[in-house]
């Protein structure tokens, strides 16, 4: 079965320090992987994706993620955190099982990032 795990409910980091939000996945074929951010009372904003190609993917707002096939991980990173990065972050994998690509996104449980001044 396809699944996504975000092992940390919350990540705390000081402003200016690097941040990492962890994500591991389990899929039967090649994964399509995504990161989304959600600010309070807002919808999800797309940050970046991995479909194929370079393992290091750059996205919006200075975020990047590294696809690691051997560790089945897709961790989100940023070299220098901002207070405004504080939000709820979701990792997701695209369900491409069965007779076709159903388009269903399978989300992790989310990680709250708290960046303190």
Partner 1 sequence: DTEVTQTPKHLVMGMTNKKSLKCEQHMGHRAMYWYKQKAKKPPELMFVYSYEKLSINESVPSRFSPECPNSSLLNLHLHALQPEDSALYLCASSQDQRGGEQYFGPGTRLTVT
Give contact residues for partner 1 (rule: CB under 8 A). Answer: 32, 34, 36, 41-46, 49, 51, 88, 90, 94, 96, 100-105, 107-110, 112
H, E, C per residue of 14-62: ECCCCEEECCEEECCCCCCEEEEEECCCCCEEEEEEECCCCCEEECHHH
Which C-beta is closer to partner 1: that of 6 or that of 13?
Answer: 6
Residues 71-91 as b/e (b if ≥16 CB within 10 A, e otherwise) read eebbbbebeebeeebbbbbbb
Q: How far is the CB of 110 from partner 1 (least distance, A)?
A: 6
Q: How far is the CB of 80 from partner 1 (least distance, A)?
A: 25
Q: How far is the CB of 16 from partner 1 (least distance, A)?
A: 27
Per DSSP, the three-state class of 110 is coil
Which C-beta is closer to partner 1: that of 46 or that of 61?
Answer: 46
DSSP percent split of the chain into helix, strand, coil, nearest 5:
5, 50, 45
Which C-beta is closer to partner 1: that of 74 or that of 90?
Answer: 90
Which C-beta is closer to partner 1: that of 15 or that of 112?
Answer: 112
Q: How far is the CB of 117 from partner 1 (least distance, A)?
A: 23
């Amino acid at each position: 079965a396809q699944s996504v795990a975000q092992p940390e409910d919350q990540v705390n980091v000081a402003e200016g320090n690097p941040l990492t939000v962890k994500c591991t996945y389990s899929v039967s074929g090649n994964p399509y992987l995504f990161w989304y951010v959600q600010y309070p009372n807002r919808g999800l904003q797309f940050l970046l994706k991995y479909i194929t190609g370079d393992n290091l993917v750059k996205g919006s707002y200075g975020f990047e993620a590294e696809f690691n096939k051997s560790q089945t991980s897709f961790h989100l990173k940023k070299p220098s955190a901002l207070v405004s990065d504080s939000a709820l972050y979701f990792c997701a994998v695209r369900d491409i099982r069965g007779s076709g690509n159903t388009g269903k996104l399978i989300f992790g449980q989310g990680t709250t990032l708290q960046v303190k001044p």
